[in-house]
Amino acid sequence: MLARPHKQLIYNGRFTSQKTTGVQRVARELIAALVQLSHDGDVTVVVPPQQGIVPVSGTKTVKMGFGKGVIWEQLVLPLFAGRCRIVNLSNSGSIFRGNQVIFMTDAAVFDTPAHFSWRFRTWYRIMFWILARTSSCVLTNSNFSRDRLAHHCGVAAARIGVVPLGADHLDPIVADTSVLQEHALLPSRFVLAVSSMNPTKNFARLVAAFRKIDDPSIDLVIVGMKNTTVFGNAHEMLEVAPNIKHVGYISDEKLKALYQHANCFLYPSLYEGFGIPPLEAMRNGCPTLVGRAAALPETCADAALYCDPESLDDIAGKLRELLNSDSLRADLIRRGHLHADKYRWATSARMLTEIITGL
């Protein structure tokens, strides 16, 4: 057990044993930014004692207790953490601990329950409801998510702090253009779509809208993996066509190359608590078309072209407009660069630090 003062912070590192997608990205980038801000250089991340841990560079990584997964997070971590304050940045935390910080990414398990397996949504609803009341600090990433979480968890919106996320994590990475050759892609001759295969990402309409363009010289490239444990056994959403290419989960180096060489980025999502991918696209010079829904107007402001995510015709029409207008693309690239530059992980980490140190 760690022998530390009452308010010594330790960071829940369960995410270090998981593949990096949206939730894990948030935790990893926030902690990496906190390392850069730390005056004493001591940011402690506690992790399960298992193989396959990918530590956050610069942190003090401590293997704690026994077991792994949910059991480790719910029972072992709070037991072995002693009097330390646990900071949970990856959307979950122990319901048996009160003296902690919880970062909830969105209220999707309440707002879009049909898009999650019943076990997952039931557990997360219970966990969020308890943590919203018992945690010493509750955080989320947008005003939209704050209001939805407050509504569903039955707490005042003022109890939930807002820390917007960053979009500069791909900056130091060297783009790997081999991904273009691997999938027979030509620069500026493909539309890019990036996210998990969550039904809220609207891939069925996305694919159908792309097919309405009916231009075999343009490819649709879909990046992301499907998680049936979380999202249930949804039917396959990707239609088979020569110019529709599902490349699965890829490295950040290859993702950056796709952003930089795509004609445009298509993200007609039905529900987002924040929306990092559109900001990633903007920061890498890719004009962006997003759905006018949930937190996306808050996150993207006037730097994106908007469509009605529930209208196949509108998605197709806006995509066609973007593909056919060099001036529109150039304007969106300019506005996207300026807008995405406001979203830096260092800024997020400073906001997080100010909130936590004020507890």
Residue 20: predicted pLDDT: 80
User: What is the number of other CB atoms lying within 10 angstroms of the CB of residue 354?
Assistant: 11
Give 3's pLDDT tier (boundaries 50, 70, 90). very low
Residues 277, 159: one domain?
no
At a CB cut-off of 8 Å and minimum separation 6, what does 153 contact? Answer: 128, 129, 132, 133
353 lies in a domain?
yes
- Contact call for residues 287 and 261 (beta carbons, < 8 A): no
Query: Given a cut of 80, is residue 109 above it in pLDDT?
Result: yes
Find where tokens 């002693």 sit. 82
Residue 4: predicted pLDDT: 39
Query: Given a cut of 60, is residue 232 above it in pLDDT?
Result: no
**Which contiguous run of DSSP H or E holds residue 46?**
strand 44-47
What is the tens place of the pLDDT at every residue in 61-89? 999 999 999 999 999 999 999 999 999 99
Residues 145, 269: one domain?
no
Give 288's pLDDT tier (boundaries 50, 70, 90). very high
228 lies in a domain?
yes
Residue 48: predicted pLDDT: 96
Query: Given a cut of 50, is residue 224 above it in pLDDT?
Result: yes
Residues 39, 94: one domain?
yes
Residues 50, 182: one domain?
no
Find where tokens 């704690």 sit. 64
Residues 210, 280: one domain?
yes
Residues 162, 191: one domain?
no
What is the tens place of the pLDDT at every residue in 5-54? 446 999 999 999 998 888 999 999 999 999 999 866 689 999 999 999 99
What is the tens place of the pLDDT at every residue in 298-319? 999 999 999 999 999 999 999 9
Give the Cα separation of 27 and 296 in Å (integer).
21
Residues 157, 247: one domain?
no
4 lies in a domain?
no
- Contact call for residues 154 and 129 (beta carbons, < 8 A): yes
Bridge pairing between strands 264-267 and 100-103: unpaired
- Contact call for residues 77 and 63 (beta carbons, < 8 A): no
What is the tens place of the pLDDT at every residue in 175-190? 999 999 999 999 999 9
The CATH code of the domain that includes 324 is 3.40.50.2000
Give the Cα separation of 115 and 118 in Å (integer).
9
Instruction: Tell me what percent of the residues of the chain surpass a pLDDT of 70.
Output: 93
Residues 90, 144: one domain?
yes
What is the tens place of the pLDDT at every residue in 248-276? 989 999 999 999 999 999 999 999 999 99
Instruction: Tell me what percent of the residues of the chain surpass a pLDDT of 90.
Output: 84
Residues 125, 210: one domain?
no
| Length of the chain as a residue count | 359
Residues 184, 140: one domain?
no
Give which of 341, 250, 327, 335 is closest to 288, Cα–Cα: 335
Query: Given a cut of 70, is residue 191 above it in pLDDT?
Result: yes
The more confidently predicted of residues 351 and 198 is 351
Residues 213, 330: one domain?
yes
**What is the number of domains present in the chain?**
2
**Alpha-carbon torsion (82, 85, 91, 94), positive or negative:** positive
Residues 290, 349: one domain?
no
DSSP per residue, 189-250:
SEEEEES---GGG-HHHHHHHHHHH--TTSEEEEE----HHHH-SPPP-PPP-TTEEEEES-
Give 99's pLDDT tier (boundaries 50, 70, 90). confident
What residues pair up with 61 in beta bridges, in sequence order?
A: 45
What is the extent of the structural domain holding 17?
9-166+344-357
172 lies in a domain?
no
At a CB cut-off of 8 Å and minimum separation 6, what does 169 contact? Answer: 25, 29, 252, 345
